[in-house]
């Protein structure tokens, strides 16, 4: 989402510096080798090759939803920058991704007994690894 790069959806969602940092914040602390956004030739192929993980039930659901949450938050951040001249930092975006994931699993039985705080603080320990 920089001002210098040419904006294509491929660049926006996988390769720009801002989204690369966001992917790193969400995925790399998990210790799982996620499909590398830089090696992707298309978003569709990248999503189709998303790794399956074997963790607890909630972790499996969160892992499957994570790329879609990152893509959605990235799109919203891009529009805020273009239309409102508001630049969101990746720390804010990470919290939005986590909040969105939490909302998306709100009706899942697997979420019972787990707080949002636990999901945030133990993201890399108990949910996806």
CA angle 86, 65, 27 (to 5 degrees): 70
Better-predicted residue by pLDDT, 1 or 11: 11
How far apart CA 60 and CA 76 sit, in angstroms, is 25
Buried b (16+ CB within 10 A) or exposed e, 33-62: ebbebeebeebeebeeeeeeeebeebbbbb
pLDDT, tens only, 71-88: 999 999 999 999 999 999
The confidence score (pLDDT) of residue 5 equals 55
Half-sphere exposure of 63 (CA within 13 A, CB side): 24
pLDDT at 34: 59
Q: How far apart are CA 70 and CA 3, in angstroms?
A: 20
CB 12 within 8 A of CB 1: yes
Instruction: Tell me what pLDDT residue 15 has.
Output: 81
Residue 125's pLDDT is what?
67
**Res 3: pLDDT:** 53
pLDDT in tens, 6-62: 678 888 888 888 988 888 888 776 665 556 666 777 888 888 878 777 778 888 888
Q: Per residue in 47-73, pLDDT tens?
A: 887 877 777 888 888 888 989 999 999
Indicate the SS3 state at residue 17: helix
DSSP state of 50: P
User: What pLDDT shows up at residue 31?
Assistant: 60
The yes-or-no verdict on residue 124 having pLDDT over 80 is no
């Amino acid at each position: 989402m920089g001002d210098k790069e040419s904006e294509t959806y491929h660049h926006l969602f996988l390769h720009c510096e801002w989204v690369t940092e966001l992917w790193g914040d969400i995925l790399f602390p998990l210790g799982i080798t996620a499909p590398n956004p830089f090696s992707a030739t298309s978003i569709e192929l990248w999503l189709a090759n998303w790794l399956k993980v074997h963790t607890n039930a909630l972790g499996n659901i969160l892992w499957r939803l994570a790329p879609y949450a990152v893509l959605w938050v990235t799109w919203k951040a891009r529009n805020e920058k273009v239309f409102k001249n508001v630049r969101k930092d990746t720390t804010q975006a990470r919290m939005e991704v986590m909040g969105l994931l939490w909302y998306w699993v709100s009706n899942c039985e697997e979420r019972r007994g787990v707080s949002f705080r636990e999901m945030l603080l133990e993201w890399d320990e108990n949910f996806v690894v």
